[in-house]
Structures are given as structure tokens and as C-alpha cells.
Homo-oligomer: A and B are copies of this chain.
């Protein structure tokens, strides 16, 4: 188990994004995220049943022929902070300005939207930074046209390597099928990656639970709050997924062939499974906080009891000792032969009576 470290960022910071200026025309392109890559890079994979060509770092012009070619092409753009590049891209593939606005608005809610000639899918690609125990989010936009899949990422590096490998294999099912199946495969990769994040969060929660049971500290508690915040964030990214897959299934979308529906149904099941686990994790995190609070109460109680026992035992005795420490000239007891032992007797009886009382009250 790797050590738990103090969170580096506040929970609130997770949920904030810079809004665009008020009153801008709709479709006015503004990138609201942070610049995450130096230069946008275009790569494409063009394939059909019997051929495959993979090109990296091409120009937009290289992609133009792909637009109407019958083979399936997956064109990927890494880095969307250069608005001009995205705009050109949009013009080349006839995308509505509002689509481009959605692609650039990296705080957008995951959604699917059908247009006349294409389908827009917006998703969050999540990763879990083990150093900072922080979820990193990146917006992926997929546009499914008749022959192509366009994907837009904020920065290089994604969870699609498995899909790329499968495209290489000539015999794979993915090579036989159309762009709708490719889209499914990409979305499926993202959803699969959510399971891995859940596993890591589960790891952390389990080690936090152990800490809380054995030796709870205020620090552990802040960690739990931190994870609860992460779960709220994850929830925001994952909940719309169910709607999204469901509307892919329910709406009779022209661009999706019927043979792909069985896979989408599988995707829907996975979304529900992820949401279920997420909800349970939230319940568990809440339970951990309650456990901590009750554990703190319990400890306080213990401390109080010790204090009360000590004070209640000795305060009366000290009083008795104080009495015979007085300097009155006429204190007959002081002269008595057995005065001192008697006082001891009185004090011991008194202490013993207290102890019996506390024992009866089950204080120790």
C-alpha cells in the first residue's frame, strides 16, 4: 500500500472552469481550458477490410481526401487550444459552429447529439494521478460521419492504444466493420478506463478505512473528504454516460447500424455498473466519516472518564488533607493519638467508595 499523502489541491478547485465572455455570439469559438500541448497535431488511421494506413503529424490538407473516400478513417486532433486549427477542421468536415463551440468548451457535460450528417459525442477521459491522489480530466469529442470518425483531444496520450492494436490485426472484427463500430470501440475504451480509476479509488478508500479503524487522525479525515470530493467529480463525469448510451440505443440513429446495437447494449450495462459502484463508494465514504466522528466521540468519552475518575478520587482527599493543614490553635483532632491514621482511614474509605460507585456505573 503506498503511503497516503496530503491532497495538493482544494476540492472546490476541481469544479471550476473559466466561463467565456457574456453575450458572445453562439458558435463564437473560445477555448476555456488551459493550453496543454505546444502545437496541435493531426494523425489519421485509414482502413478497410484489406488495407490500413497510419499517418502521424499530417496537415489538414492531407485529410481532405479521406472525407469522401469509401474506406473508414479515424482522424485525431491532439490539442484544441488553437482555435484557428479547430475552425479549419470544422470547415473541412462541414461541422456546425455550435459543434465546434461544444468541442472547445472543455467544461461541457458528456452528451450525444444527432445532426443531419453526423453525430457528436462528448465524453470525459479520466486518469488518476497517483502522486497527488487527484483525478485528471480531459475532454474527448467524437464526431461520427458517414465514413469517418473525428476525435478531438486536449493533449496527446489517451486510452485508445488497445483499439489501435486491434486495428493493426487484419483478422480483427473491427477491420470488417464501419465507423459506427469504431466509435463504439473508442467509447468502450474510455468506459473501461473508468473501471481502472474506480479500482484505484477503491484501493485508497480501503486503506483509509483501515487507518480509521486502527488509528484515526484528523489527517485521515481530510483525506476522506478529499476522496469524497473526487467521487462527486467523477459522478459529474459518469452520470451523463448512462443517458448517453441509452439515447444511442433508443433513438433510431441512422449512422449506427443495427448490428452494432448489441455492443451498445453491453456498453449501457457497463455504464450502469460504474454508476452503481460509484454510488456505493460515496455511501462508503460517508460511512467512513461517520465512523471517524463516532470514534472521536468515543475517545473523548474515554478521556473524560479518566479525568473524572482522577479528579473525583483525589479532590475530596485533598480537601481532607487541606483541613488538617490549617493552623488553628484549637484543633483537637491534631492532638489525638490516632488522628493521623484515622484520617488515612477516612480517606481510603472515601476513595474506595468512589471506586465502587464508578465500577457500578461501568466506567472502567
Q: A11-B209, A206-B10, A315-B310 are in contact. Are A334 and B329 (CB under 8 A)?
A: yes
Q: In the complex, what residue of chain B is closest to A225 when comparing beta carbons?
A: B291
Nearest-CB distance from A78 to chain B (Å)?
18
* Cβ-based interface call for A102 (8 A): yes
Main DSSP-derived SS at the A contact region: helix
Q: A174-B25, A325-B321 are in contact. Are A303 and B269 (CB under 8 A)?
A: no
* Cβ-based interface call for A308 (8 A): yes
Binds B, one of A53-61, A145-153, A154-162: A154-162
Q: In the complex, what residue of chain B is closest to A26 when comparing beta carbons?
A: B263
Binds B, one of A63-71, A185-193, A244-252: A185-193
A314 CB contacts on chain B under 8 angstroms: 315-316, 318-319
Nearest-CB distance from A129 to chain B (Å)?
17
Q: Encode A92-110 as 1/0 by CB contact (under 8 A) with B.
A: 0000101001100001110
Instruction: Tell me, in angstroms, the Cα distance from A109 to B162 when the chains sit together.
Output: 25
A108 CB contacts on chain B under 8 angstroms: 269, 273
Interface residues of A in 237-282 (CB under 8 A from B): 262-263, 265-266, 269, 272-273, 276-277, 280-281
Nearest-CB distance from A287 to chain B (Å)?
6
B316 and A215 contacting across the interface, CB-CB below 8 Å:
no
B25 and A172 contacting across the interface, CB-CB below 8 Å:
yes
Instruction: Tell me, in angstroms, the Cα distance from A248 to B88 when the chains sit together.
Output: 32
- Tally A residues with Cβ within 8 Å of B: 126
Q: A206-B10, A321-B323 are in contact. Are A303 and B308 (CB under 8 A)?
A: yes
Q: In the complex, what residue of chain B is closest to A315 when comparing beta carbons?
A: B314
Q: A311-B315, A325-B325, A327-B334 are in contact. Are A280 and B22 (CB under 8 A)?
A: no
Q: In the complex, what residue of chain B is closest to A340 when comparing beta carbons?
A: B328
A302 CB contacts on chain B under 8 angstroms: 361
Binds B, one of A35-43, A79-87, A195-203: A195-203
Q: Which of B23, B206, B232 contacts A283 (CB 8 A)?
A: B232
Nearest-CB distance from A18 to chain B (Å)?
7
A221 CB contacts on chain B under 8 angstroms: 294, 298
A293 CB contacts on chain B under 8 angstroms: 294, 297
* Cβ-based interface call for A5 (8 A): no
A203 CB contacts on chain B under 8 angstroms: 16
Q: In the complex, what residue of chain B is closest to A262 when comparing beta carbons?
A: B98
* Cβ-based interface call for A324 (8 A): yes
A348 CB contacts on chain B under 8 angstroms: none
* Cβ-based interface call for A117 (8 A): no
Instruction: Tell me, in angstroms, the Cα distance from A363 to B307 when the chains sit together.
Output: 13
Q: 6 extra interchain contacts, Cβ-Cβ under 8 A, other than A15-B284, A96-B262?
A: A21-B192, A218-B294, A294-B296, A300-B300, A310-B312, A324-B326
Instruction: List residues of A whose CB falls within 8 A of some B CB.
Output: 10-13, 15-26, 96, 98, 101-102, 107-109, 111, 113, 159-163, 165-166, 172-174, 184-185, 188-189, 192-193, 195-196, 198-199, 202-203, 205-206, 209-210, 213, 215, 218, 221-222, 225, 228-229, 232-233, 236, 262-263, 265-266, 269, 272-273, 276-277, 280-281, 283-284, 287, 289-308, 310-312, 314-319, 321-331, 333-335, 337, 339-340, 343, 361-363
Pull 17 A–B residue pairs with CB atoms less than 8 Å apart, ordered by A: A16-B199, A16-B203, A19-B192, A22-B193, A23-B160, A26-B185, A98-B262, A113-B265, A296-B301, A297-B297, A299-B301, A306-B312, A310-B315, A319-B321, A324-B328, A325-B326, A331-B340
